Chains A and B, each alone.
Chain A
Amino acid sequence: MLKGFYFRLAVDHLKKNAKMFLPFLCSSSLTVMIFYLVYSLSHNEGLNSLAGGEYVQMLLSLGVGVIVIFSVIFLFYTHSFLMKRRKHEFGIYNILGMEKKHIARIIFYETLMSLVLSLALGIGAGILFDKLSYLMILRLLSYDAGLGFYISGPGIFYSWILFSLIYLLIYIFSLFQIQMTKPIDLIRSHQVGEKEPKTKWLLTFLGIVCLSIGYYLAVSIQDPLSAFTFFFIAVVLVVLGTYLLFTTGSITLLKLLKKNKNYYYKTRHFISLSNMIYRMKQNAIGLANICILSTMVLVILSTTLSLWMSIDSIIDSRFPREVQIAMRGYDLATSKEKLISVLESNEVKAEDIMLYRYSSISGLLEEGNLNTDTSKASLSNMGDVVSLYFIPLEDYNESTHQHLTLNEDQAFVYGTDQTFKEDRLKVGDVSYQIKDTLSTFMDNQEEGSSIGNNYFVVVSDYEQVLQMQKIQERLYADSYNTPTTMLSFNCDQDHRSQEKIASLFQVLNVDEGDTYQDLVYIYTSTKDSSYHDTLSLYAGFLFLGIFLSILFIIATVLIMYYKQITEGLQDRQRFEIMANVGLEKRELKRSINSQVLTVFFLPLLAAGIHLLFAFPLIDKLLRLLYFDDTKLFIQVSIGCFLIFVVVYSIVYLLTSKVYYGIVRRHG
């Protein structure tokens, strides 16, 4: 045998089947590119040295994991499309006397070439876009960047390793497929009549159940913490339900319709129904994939974009004022004066000063009793955990310019999202009579920066606050909060840098003492620096969101494209026969259109419904990230969906041209 014969055969084949092979090569290269990009960025030293850059890199590292898993599934799936179309060719080779090991050699060369080409193209494009993405991240983080080129050695290395492994798997799987089939089957594989699929009631029912439970969870969960727990369960259920309903549910429905003779034996229904049954049998998985990918794109884009757009309001709610100083120490009697004296001695022109002391304790609130038995707390009642902030009346009156009075055993209560309904509040062995519930409260930062339900309890004086602290230390032996004096104010630009503030107030730190009660720690935070941290985090989210969306959209496009080609080839013969038997062209066109439309917009519709049901759940989840602008989220989601519909339609129009081209070729 001539040397290089199989190699040339492989090259020849790839050239001749460009229509099938090129899209695969493109998407494979793009997958490599995205992997390289994200990997390289997650290890980019320039990025690491930036403030906030580490958040971005942490998120990108997570993204690398997602991309790896996705690449394996995606490349495997699309390659199986290619193999299916080639069985006939291999059958002929086989009959012409080529042994299976020779076919294996051809496949080997082909796989190797695909791998080398995708790696070369992917990494090449990756290096080009690496700089661009880096600049984009810097832009999102509001930094300026110099020019320069960065090539990530490990990025290239791991791309090689990962994709070589994936292609090895693909190769082994192809061999397995060839090994398993007889030559005569290889030749006939695309002619054999496909059996009509059976109705599977049980699986259909299971699909409905999965989807319903998933939807129910998504809609019914009220608090953000349980949302976090149940989010994954709901996602798994919905994904499972989607697959089941697309594969078996659709067929069950179509077969039910088919049983109705008066419906079935109408020209349009007749052709569509029986074609659809086969289409669904072969493409249900592909459609379910498209549906799930679309949903992911929509969820990722709308959440990351919403977060990104709401940074200002999130920061505003967490920082009512520019500078915040938390002084953690037991000496509540003099803490206020100490803080103020620092301001005065450094001549900081502070305005709009807010100063209060508190001790906070968490637990489950049961009929006015704070239950601190932590063994009772589980993932399912995380949302019922409340935090109580005890604040002396003096501080409350001062901030709100009021002159309320309280006895030692009395308290005012303010709930952030709910009103306190009991008339007594009992913590440990101390109980307070609730004199009144407050409908408004002073603007503090605790309210904006915590997730669960909070109550602010105004007690007669700071002695009461310290008493609560003692009870807390007794109830939670080693995990208690230290009493805090909170100072926040606005001031001019010069005095509010994080470093400046920290240096001014660190004189109050007490690192040594006889007991822990003598220790004092100062924590400073400024709106500006927090803004930057949050910006980095959300920029990371957004950036990753965009990347994953691109990846998922590529996958969607490719699946659609292959579907169109395979369906076109199958349908061509079918429609030819029907034309011969007397189906009018107009009727034919209408029937083709309606089927193609149904098949393509079904996943989009399903994705829309998924998004609708996921909405309340994601909205709750976003609260964990301090996001509570539901209106913005609705607008962004609708916007994303509309844009996605447009993109999807364009993809559909482009790929359906391929389909119509094939079907009409002999029409």
Chain B
Amino acid sequence: MSLLEVKNLKKVYTSRFSANSVQALKDVNLNVEKGEYVAIMGESGSGKTTLLNILASLDRPTSGSVTLNGKDLTKIPDKMLASYRRKNLGFVFQDFNLLNNFSNQDNILLPLVLSNQKPKDMFRLLKPLAKQLGITEILSKYPYEISGGQKQRVAVARAVITNPELILADEPTGALDSKSTEELLMLFDQLNQNEQTILMVTHSTKAASHAKRVLFIKDGEVFHQIYRGDRTIDQMYEVISDTLTLLATGGRHA
């Protein structure tokens, strides 16, 4: 059984005052195995953010199912969603979503505090993680005092400290310069080597080229996918950009 199974996912937005409705997701099917590193690419408006929001249980699908570890996310009652999210999912956002009124350390600990863990246990988890991510020195600083790359590492730390089944990353490199992007992608590779499952939505060919599998979404459907297999990152990069060109020019399945 796959870790994440998405079946016949459909999402239609209807505005309250008009008869118009927009179909964001037509019929999405995908599986993610444990330990996989999947990137989802697509143009603006292709439905990739909608998909991520549904996977993150921040939004509900019109029909279809999302199963994580055998549990259907769409059936979890609203009340339980937050704690479910906290326990099973880790998030990395484009704009970091760090809270300026917490120190970096407290930002990372936030999900643990929400789960009522003991301070002693929290710090036991925090120390090696901070070391691994190279953020030990900035723990006592505040998010507004550190660089974008550092912020994103803090955000990653917050996402993984609960040891989630799945990390969902929404354009994680979107607000970073090339050096920080490189560092973050290395970090994701590293996490993935430790069996961490990652699902990333991105525009960036570079970011996608690090993934083991790249899905392309167009007009609300999974249009195409590429497995990295034995390709190097550079080779992967080329394949992805070729595919994107094809997609943009309206080419047929490669």
B91 touches A581 (CB 8 A): yes
Q: A274-B106, A580-B91 are in contact. List 18 more A-B contacts (CB 8 A).
A: A193-B143, A193-B144, A193-B145, A265-B117, A265-B119, A270-B106, A270-B110, A270-B113, A274-B99, A577-B97, A578-B110, A579-B82, A581-B91, A581-B97, A582-B89, A582-B114, A584-B114, A585-B79
* A275 CB within 8 Å of chain B: yes
Distance of A252 Cα from B91 Cα, bound (Å): 34
Residues of B within 8 A of A196 (CB): 101, 103, 142
Query: Whole-angstrom distance from the CB of A500 to the nearest CB of chain B?
Result: 77
Query: Whole-angstrom distance from the CB of A129 to the nearest CB of chain B?
Result: 44
* A192 CB within 8 Å of chain B: yes
Given known pairs A193-B143, A265-B122, the reply for A582 and B106 (CB within 8 Å) is no
Residues of B within 8 A of A274 (CB): 99, 101-102, 106
* B85 CB within 8 Å of chain A: yes
A586 touches B101 (CB 8 A): no
In B38-91, the 8 Å CB interface with A consists of: 56, 58, 78-79, 82-83, 85-87, 89, 91
Residues of B within 8 A of A195 (CB): 142, 144
A267 touches B113 (CB 8 A): yes
Residues of A within 8 A of B116 (CB): 266-267
Distance of A584 Cα from B111 Cα, bound (Å): 11
Please indicate which of the listed interface residues B100, B102, B110 has the most CB atoms of chain A within 10 Å of its own CB: B100
Interface band, chain B: 35 or more
* A236 CB within 8 Å of chain B: no
A265 touches B113 (CB 8 A): yes
Shortest Cβ distance from A196 into B: residue: B142
B119 touches A578 (CB 8 A): no
Query: Whole-angstrom distance from the CB of B250 to the nearest CB of chain A?
Result: 36
Residues of A within 8 A of B82 (CB): 579, 582-585, 587
Query: Whole-angstrom distance from the CB of A594 to the nearest CB of chain B?
Result: 16
Given known pairs A193-B142, A261-B119, A274-B106, the reply for A267 and B101 (CB within 8 Å) is no
Distance of A278 Cα from B106 Cα, bound (Å): 15
B114 touches A267 (CB 8 A): yes
* Contact string against B for A residues 253-281, beta-carbon threshold 8 Å, 1 for contact and 0 otherwise: 00000000110111100100011011000
* Contact string against B for A residues 573-606, beta-carbon threshold 8 Å, 1 for contact and 0 otherwise: 0100111111111110000000000000000000
Given known pairs A579-B82, A585-B82, the reply for A265 and B114 (CB within 8 Å) is no
* A478 CB within 8 Å of chain B: no
* A144 CB within 8 Å of chain B: no
A265 touches B109 (CB 8 A): yes
* A511 CB within 8 Å of chain B: no
List B residues at the A interface (Cβ < 8 Å): 56, 58, 78-79, 82-83, 85-87, 89, 91, 93, 97-103, 106, 109-111, 113-114, 116-119, 122, 142-145, 158
Query: Whole-angstrom distance from the CB of A639 to the nearest CB of chain B?
Result: 41
B111 touches A581 (CB 8 A): yes
Distance of A286 Cα from B141 Cα, bound (Å): 28
Query: Whole-angstrom distance from the CB of A208 to the nearest CB of chain B?
Result: 26
Distance of A196 Cα from B158 Cα, bound (Å): 21
A582 touches B79 (CB 8 A): no
Please indicate which of the listed interface residues A195, A261, A265, A587 has the most CB atoms of chain B within 10 Å of its own CB: A265
B111 touches A262 (CB 8 A): no
Distance of A661 Cα from B110 Cα, bound (Å): 25
Task: List 5 A-B pairs, Cβ < 8 Å.
Answer: A194-B100, A195-B144, A274-B99, A580-B93, A584-B83
Distance of A310 Cα from B117 Cα, bound (Å): 62
Residues of B within 8 A of A278 (CB): 101
The contact of A275 among B91, B101, B113, B119, by CB within 8 Å, is: B101
Shortest Cβ distance from B56 into A: residue: A580
A577 touches B99 (CB 8 A): yes
List A residues at the B interface (Cβ < 8 Å): 192-196, 261-262, 264-267, 270, 274-275, 277-278, 574, 577-587
Given known pairs A193-B142, A274-B102, A574-B99, the reply for A581 and B114 (CB within 8 Å) is yes
Distance of A270 Cα from B56 Cα, bound (Å): 24
Query: Whole-angstrom distance from the CB of A267 to the nearest CB of chain B?
Result: 5
Query: Whole-angstrom distance from the CB of B210 to the nearest CB of chain A?
Result: 24
Query: Whole-angstrom distance from the CB of A429 to the nearest CB of chain B?
Result: 78
Residues of A within 8 A of B111 (CB): 581-582
Residues of A within 8 A of B106 (CB): 270, 274
A581 touches B86 (CB 8 A): yes
Query: Whole-angstrom distance from the CB of A402 to the nearest CB of chain B?
Result: 80
Distance of A193 Cα from B107 Cα, bound (Å): 14
Distance of A580 Cα from B100 Cα, bound (Å): 15
A585 touches B78 (CB 8 A): yes
A574 touches B58 (CB 8 A): no
Distance of A586 Cα from B114 Cα, bound (Å): 12
Distance of A195 Cα from B97 Cα, bound (Å): 17
Please indicate which of the listed interface residues B91, B99, B102 has the most CB atoms of chain A within 10 Å of its own CB: B99
Residues of B within 8 A of A587 (CB): 82, 114
Residues of A within 8 A of B142 (CB): 193, 195-196
Residues of A within 8 A of B144 (CB): 192-193, 195
B158 touches A581 (CB 8 A): yes
The contact of B83 among A193, A266, A582, by CB within 8 Å, is: A582
Residues of A within 8 A of B114 (CB): 267, 581-584, 587
Query: Whole-angstrom distance from the CB of A575 to the nearest CB of chain B?
Result: 10
Residues of B within 8 A of A585 (CB): 78-79, 82
Shortest Cβ distance from A193 into B: residue: B144
Query: Whole-angstrom distance from the CB of A579 to the nearest CB of chain B?
Result: 7
Distance of A585 Cα from B122 Cα, bound (Å): 23
Shortest Cβ distance from B112 into A: residue: A265
Residues of B within 8 A of A261 (CB): 119
Distance of A223 Cα from B109 Cα, bound (Å): 59
B99 touches A582 (CB 8 A): no
The 9 closest A-B pairs by CB, nearest first: A193-B144, A582-B86, A193-B100, A584-B82, A265-B119, A261-B119, A577-B97, A270-B113, A582-B85
Query: Whole-angstrom distance from the CB of B101 to the nearest CB of chain A?
Result: 5
Shortest Cβ distance from B113 into A: residue: A270
Residues of B within 8 A of A275 (CB): 101
Distance of A581 Cα from B82 Cα, bound (Å): 8
Residues of B within 8 A of A579 (CB): 82
B97 touches A580 (CB 8 A): yes
Given known pairs A193-B143, A265-B113, A275-B101, the reply for A580 and B58 (CB within 8 Å) is yes
Residues of A within 8 A of B91 (CB): 580-581
Distance of A254 Cα from B140 Cα, bound (Å): 17
Residues of A within 8 A of B100 (CB): 193-194
Shortest Cβ distance from B100 into A: residue: A193
Residues of B within 8 A of A582 (CB): 82-83, 85-87, 89, 111, 114
Distance of A265 Cα from B143 Cα, bound (Å): 19
B79 touches A584 (CB 8 A): yes
Residues of A within 8 A of B87 (CB): 582
Distance of A579 Cα from B82 Cα, bound (Å): 7
Shortest Cβ distance from B96 into A: residue: A577
Distance of A267 Cα from B158 Cα, bound (Å): 16
Distance of A307 Cα from B113 Cα, bound (Å): 56
Distance of A385 Cα from B111 Cα, bound (Å): 70
Distance of A275 Cα from B101 Cα, bound (Å): 7
Query: Whole-angstrom distance from the CB of A573 to the nearest CB of chain B?
Result: 9
Shortest Cβ distance from B143 into A: residue: A193
Please indicate which of the listed interface residues A577, A578, A581, A586 has the most CB atoms of chain B within 10 Å of its own CB: A581
Query: Whole-angstrom distance from the CB of B142 to the nearest CB of chain A?
Result: 6
Distance of A587 Cα from B115 Cα, bound (Å): 11
B99 touches A266 (CB 8 A): no
Residues of A within 8 A of B85 (CB): 582
B101 touches A262 (CB 8 A): no
Shortest Cβ distance from B98 into A: residue: A577
Shortest Cβ distance from A277 into B: residue: B101
Please indicate which of the listed interface residues B58, B82, B86 has the most CB atoms of chain A within 10 Å of its own CB: B82
Distance of A194 Cα from B101 Cα, bound (Å): 8
Distance of A587 Cα from B113 Cα, bound (Å): 12
A581 touches B110 (CB 8 A): yes
Residues of A within 8 A of B118 (CB): 265
